[in-house]
Structure 1
């Protein structure tokens, strides 16, 4: 079912009042890959009446269309940080938005969490505001903001929200709802794991990281704060992290524990419509649904820990996988949809071939201080691809399913490391690949790859050779990033030479690095120093030169 987004829908359900109203900077897409829908259906399944307002008009009283919630407003910028969604890597305003209908005349505001929180405060004084999603997660402490070229305070303070949920927030948001319902006071929620709050007093039993004032003025202090936040934020460590900002302390409670497999299974079998809500659909196509409508999330979390990726900070390195039975049940749901033509577009997650993997150290003691896959793959991080193959073939056997694809990406180095099933996986992979196989070596220069925490390019070539031998005129298409810390014109020309000599085609996908909040690469971009090695890194900050790097590669 769709969650209500208008009063008429509330009336049709016989609901006079909502318990929780969720606000998002995207159109309301009712699909489990969309965070606001996942949270909304999860709360509904626990007995709460939930409504969603997508893309509220911030120049009118549109935010009042569902009335006042009994418990709280939950606000997110959408599935993507609002500044990333609104601007290109060349700092130009985007002309198209995958999450907004073509003819919808309201756009997502810059710094949407701040705008929407202020909007709610204006119309609903005294109603608790909870912020969450990726924009909240990655901006929860003092952080470098590329768009303003300065270090900003925690978005909790800038938005004036009451509390911030970081990471994958199902457990924390449910506890918040129950606490407010029981105590009638959001201040009681400050004991909940997975939240960030503020206080004028420093709490006992905490680890303090360098303050906002320190990280703003001193690159080494910025690096220290990032390093500690990364290493200490783990559900197994139960550490409370504190950062002073002016005369207040921003306090991060320990993360929530990951969902159990049973919780993960049940979450994705909730009654999603897997469509754009009719209120928004009438304004034209929303591109995002076309990509995900017939996709299945099989795995959550990623221990790849690529320097430029936000998932380490948001979904964490703790990998959880759904059961085959649960995924087959979701396949049956997809089969009943009118638009289904026999193809499952994607079975995966952040990294599809981490499905079924585990690590006893990470699960029992927390993430190590070292990287799982860099510079070499840890013995505890190796993957058995038999589990993923069994899943894919189980789906393929379902009557009415013609094609099952992996579109969300794989780690080729993990495949090569699997001495028992790696070659079998490569042989079978063409059957589960839509067209050409897209992989992301990201660069070819050894130094740049080390800064990115990516495997040596020789492993990509080794995988490419093996795959193309068995794929019958289907090829590996490589994705690359330019303008990343460590890359100057020498490294850029090395990449161009590599593409010419080893690939022999004009690349389809060249992305200019965007310094998104909260990542290792952005930390290096801002400070010019790798926080884990203390090595000084060359950083190209000129937009003109970064654009020239892309042009240089495309002019092959």
Structure 2
């Protein structure tokens, strides 16, 4: 680790406060993650923004919440407010597998140790602060707070929960990526306005007494959701709520949302418009050390940091709108991209790291190849309410040019200290298939693929078709599997041209809403036919603020309110998962018996047949066909 003055980091201890000559602090941040001063870690970003606005800020990382609350008290009462986040992940996703088994490690903790944050960390931390300092405002944010801002289904308790503001007792919630609302809140706080009285800032949520009239701001119209109490009784009403929230979250000129929760009204202000390039640069160009805090030196490395320390994030947001994914729900549908100048500046910073050996692990983003993609006519985007720009088809108004990204890859390649820069983030392969993406006017997609495959693949390329069943893919908001086949053809063609052998690794999900057991058997058979022997599979986890979570709980699609079947029992989920491992001897008998029971012996034969025997049978069939054709020709003569 670099030897640098401790004052280069935000203060994490009382001693560091004293070294700065401070008597007190303005803001204290409480985080479920260890403190890594890097733009990929939310606490560092928020802390640096607060610092850049002239406030004294300190961090309490992974405080002891069990039996000794001195971590919450070590900096005393902050002048303005406490900021609370569970960390980079929802604490329940961080703690538990899809089967609700406790995970044995935590990637955001030194040494990967588990047990350093509570379940529902945002709520636990906030309740403790409200007991210790009842008159100090608490602002909550991060993905856990953001995606639990309205009535939501909690998979781990198997019940509907109210807004996290109600459970936690927090005064204010910032949802989504928090830079814009935070800067506005800080500006108002600096003017002497108490944090817990602010109501006119975009992208915040708060509770107020139901008998208190809504204040009028900025000409906002208001849309009311079914109350939390109604949702508890009526799953269809709950599903209908989701559509409103998703549509309003993705609109440029959105409405304010309200929901009754007992004797209170939840108010969710419209989001800010997507950050411009200059705003993105301002956030990423803050004076991060790009290192974990030195106090963790003896406890071991932080796995999440080790994964990203030689990577950089070029953009935010995702216009895919996949039903099971929270990226667009939290980061937004529209892409916010950094400038080339800012990105190349970070490349130089990475190159200066004493452990750097010349290899950048990831030039990426939520979806690696969406950099600088946006609507050609932004006035059309302003009116759009679609949750996805590429489902069921790619919008004709979407500029899907890969040219800016290809040029950026080449610039990074030209840097004298860079030997290789890999793309580790997921690539949206459907944007690279001409049959699906009709916007490829100048062939720049082909140029991008050539550049990607020949220069930026680290041994193998990961893509996520997610399924092979068109019915399931439709519910997932993903394209037909035939486009994956076309992408693979193109990928193999480029590899053959350059004499390369970099495997394509497809990712799939089992037990997703709309997926039946036979669909999983067919998935296994189709992928086997393509030469894949899948080694891992992601079991579906219903996470708050996703279409798939709503279907899982309510049994209906929130946009159509039509019933959709979902595997829910452990036995149903296990049955779907097993087909991935058709090549294991202990699974084969089960598969055969199961598919015979499901009246699909044809699938069993296809899935379990010996590949060599299949090849021999195909040759025999071809010979037979050829012989028959020769006989017919002879007869005609």
Distance 1:166 1:293, change over 3 A: same
| Residue deviations 1:488-524 (CA, integer Å, cap 9, x gap) | 211111111112112x232133000000111111011
CA distance in 1, matches of 2:268, 2:379: 21
Distance 1:37 1:329, change over 3 A: same
Residues 195-210 of structure 1 aligned to structure 2 (within 5 Å): 195-200=204-209, 201-203=212-214, 205-210=221-226
Distance 1:537 1:364, change over 3 A: closer
Shift of 1:363: 7.6
Matched, 1:178 2:187: yes
Aligned position for 1:29: 36
Shift of 1:343: 1.2
Number of residue pairs matched by the alignment: 555
Matched, 1:125 2:134: yes
C-alpha RMSD over aligned residues: 1.6
Aligned position for 2:481: 457
Residues 145-164 of structure 1 aligned to structure 2 (within 5 Å): 145-164=154-173
CA distance in 2, matches of 1:437, 1:369: 30
CA distance in 2, matches of 1:311, 1:242: 23
Aligned position for 2:470: 446
| Residue from 520, 524, 537 that aligns with 1:492 | 520
Aligned position for 1:57: 64
TM-score (norm 2): 0.85
Aligned position for 2:390: 373
Residues 261-280 of structure 1 aligned to structure 2 (within 5 Å): 261-280=277-296
Q: What SS does the aligned partner of 1:190 have?
A: coil
Aligned position for 1:525: 552
Residues 223-372 of structure 1 aligned to structure 2 (within 5 Å): 223-234=239-250, 236-359=252-375, 360-361=377-378, 365-369=382-386, 371-372=388-389
CA distance in 2, matches of 1:84, 1:367: 32
Aligned position for 1:474: 502
Answer with 1 or 2: which has the greater Rg.
Answer: 2
Q: What SS does the aligned partner of 2:479 have?
A: coil
Aligned position for 1:549: 576
Shift of 1:155: 0.2
- For the Cα contact (< 8 Å) 1:193–1:256, is it kept in 2? yes
* More displaced 10-residue stretch of structure 1: 486-495 or 183-192: 183-192
Q: What SS does the aligned partner of 1:525 have?
A: helix
Residues 38-187 of structure 1 aligned to structure 2 (within 5 Å): 38-58=45-65, 59-60=67-68, 61-102=70-111, 107-187=116-196
Distance 1:366 1:342, change over 3 A: farther
Shift of 1:421: 1.0
Shift of 1:325: 1.2
Aligned position for 1:394: 411
Structure 2: runs of 5 or more not aligned: 1-7, 216-220, 584-637
Aligned position for 1:4: 11
Aligned position for 1:435: 459
Shift of 1:362: 6.7
CA distance in 2, matches of 1:133, 1:105: 20
Aligned position for 2:232: 216
CA distance in 2, matches of 1:235, 1:536: 27
Shift of 1:375: 1.1
Distance 1:114 1:412, change over 3 A: same
Shift of 1:554: 2.2
TM-score (norm 1): 0.97
Shift of 1:371: 3.0
| Residue deviations 1:120-154 (CA, integer Å, cap 9, x gap) | 12222211100000011110000011111111000
CA distance in 2, matches of 1:55, 1:341: 32
Shift of 1:310: 0.6
The answer to which structure, 1 or 2, has the higher relative contact order (CA under 8 A, 6+ apart) is 1
* More displaced 10-residue stretch of structure 1: 460-469 or 85-94: 460-469
Shift of 1:74: 0.4
CA distance in 1, matches of 2:291, 2:349: 13
CA distance in 2, matches of 1:505, 1:259: 41
